[in-house]
Amino acid sequence: MFVMWIIGGVLIFLAIKKEMEPTLLLPMGFGAILVNLPNSGAKAVIDHLFDIGISNEAHELMPLVLFIGIGAMIDFEPLLTNPKLMFFGAAAQFGIFFTLTMASILGFDLADAASVAIIGAADGPTSIFVAQQLNSSYLSAIMVAAYSYMALVPLVQPPIIKLCTSKKERKIRMKYQGKKVSKMTKILFPIVVTIIVGLFAPDAVALIGFLMFGNLIRECGVLNSLSETAQNVLANLITIFLGITIASRMVADEFLKVETLLIMGLGLVAFVFDTFGGIMLAKVMNIFSKKNKINPMIGASGISAFPMSARVVHKLGLAEDPQNFLLMHSIGVNVSGQIASVIAGGLILTFAKSALGL
């Protein structure tokens, strides 16, 4: 219990002092303390929240509803003006499949290995959805790892990016071609993406459908008040409840296991190789491009942690060159990573279910 109090305190410290995703880490940290108090009366209440919001019986309600708010926040215009950015989002899912292999080699069965690998999606709702669907034995560790690494993107990614790129590459300037995207295109995009994903990765259709429904609310132009509610009130409310509900699985006897440390380590591996995959694709594309070079750092924002990863890349660009503005490019890659991570989750879910006969 004492160790879990310390872990909860660290999460609260990171939320308040370091301002690392406080809407996530503060509820998780305080919840970890609540459920680890002797004979805690709060445990039953938080368990009830888990049952009605996250469990299989609740059909992972909270993560799915949160996707409506996330979709309403996303502006796909930077991606639509430069569709090739989608390739970076796809490349940045490399860590998921690499970690799936690593987890299997380390002795995790397929359901648990697939669930652990999805931590690399850098997307808490997707991680919870996949782990629940596959009845993973390590749901608590997976939830905590997924949300912790999302919050720790500003700490985890910069060293990896600097290790994989040279100073010269980090100084590459990219012009933003701000082409005007028609309203019709913005409205059709979420509808078309949902249909395509539903046809090719049906297990991901709930995730992508709620995400794109949120975006459609944003772009339709007739539901502005509903869009603002989804972006602010709904997203913040669900995030707070989700954070404290995750803590229901941070009870000492469930959480303090060797497997938990191993899962946290594999989650870090997934993040590292996701970042590596996006950067390497940019380097390869630069080999074949004589002009209009791509700053390889934008490939790192292909993970799904929106908009944290895009901000990290933008700040690194400014640190190397105060006139190097990479925000729009990195945002375009970041939102493509949001779509790609959901598709990757659906594909792995389909593969695992088929292999396990579920």
CB < 8 Å & 24+ apart, contacts of 318-321: 320/167, 320/170, 320/171, 321/171, 321/173
User: pLDDT band at 163, cuts 50/70/90?
Assistant: very high
Quick one: pLDDT at residue 209?
94
Amino acid at position 338, single letter: Q
242 pLDDT exceeds 80?
Answer: yes
pLDDT digits (tens, 9 = 90+) for 32-64: 999 999 988 888 888 888 888 887 666 678 888
Quick one: pLDDT at residue 6?
94
146 pLDDT exceeds 90?
Answer: no
**Alpha carbon 191 to chain centroid, angstroms:** 22
pLDDT digits (tens, 9 = 90+) for 285-310: 998 887 888 999 999 998 888 888 89
Average pLDDT over residues 319-323: 90
- CA-to-CA dists, residue 196 to 79, 139, 212, angstroms: 17, 29, 12
Quick one: pLDDT at residue 58?
61
Number of domains forming the structure of the chain: 1
CB-CB contact of 274 with 98 (8 Å): no
201 found inside a domain: yes
Mean per-residue pLDDT over the chain, rounded: 88
Quick one: pLDDT at residue 148?
75
- Could you tell me how many helices (H) and strands (E) the chain has, helices first? 21, 0
Rounded CA separation 150/152 (Å): 6
Say if residue 291 is exposed, middle or buried (CB neighbours under 10 Å; 0-12, 13-18, 19+): exposed
81 found inside a domain: yes
**Tokens coding 152:** 């720790």
| Max intra-chain CA distance, the chain | 67
Task: Identify which of 132, 103, 134 has the alpha carbon closest to the alpha carbon of residue 117.
Answer: 103
> 15-24, 66-75, 214-223 — which is least confidently predicted?
15-24
Average pLDDT over residues 131-151: 81
28 found inside a domain: no
User: pLDDT band at 155, cuts 50/70/90?
Assistant: confident
CB-CB contact of 24 with 243 (8 Å): yes
User: pLDDT band at 178, cuts 50/70/90?
Assistant: low
**Alpha carbon 248 to chain centroid, angstroms:** 21
18 found inside a domain: no
User: Between the ranges 2-6, 43-47, 172-176, 260-264, where is the mean pLDDT highest?
Assistant: 2-6
Task: Identify which of 265, 276, 267 has the alpha carbon closest to the alpha carbon of residue 94.
Answer: 276
Q: Is the bond preceding 83 in cis, omega lying within 30 degrees of 0? A: no
346 found inside a domain: yes
140 pLDDT exceeds 80?
Answer: no
Average pLDDT over residues 95-117: 90
| DSSP code string of 140-201 | HHHHHHHHHHHHTHHHHHHHHHHHHS-HHHHT-------PPPPHHHHHHHHHHHHHHHHHH-
335 found inside a domain: yes
Quick one: pLDDT at residue 73?
92
Greater model confidence, 153 or 297: 297
291 found inside a domain: yes
The dihedral built from the CA positions of residue 305, 136, 93 and 99, taken in this order, carries a sign that is: positive
224 found inside a domain: yes
Q: pTM for this one?
A: 0.86
Average pLDDT over residues 168-177: 86
Percentage of the chain beyond pLDDT 70 is 98
User: pLDDT band at 255, cuts 50/70/90?
Assistant: confident
Q: Give the structural domain span for 153.
A: 73-231+255-356
Rounded CA separation 121/70 (Å): 15
Rounded CA separation 31/51 (Å): 16
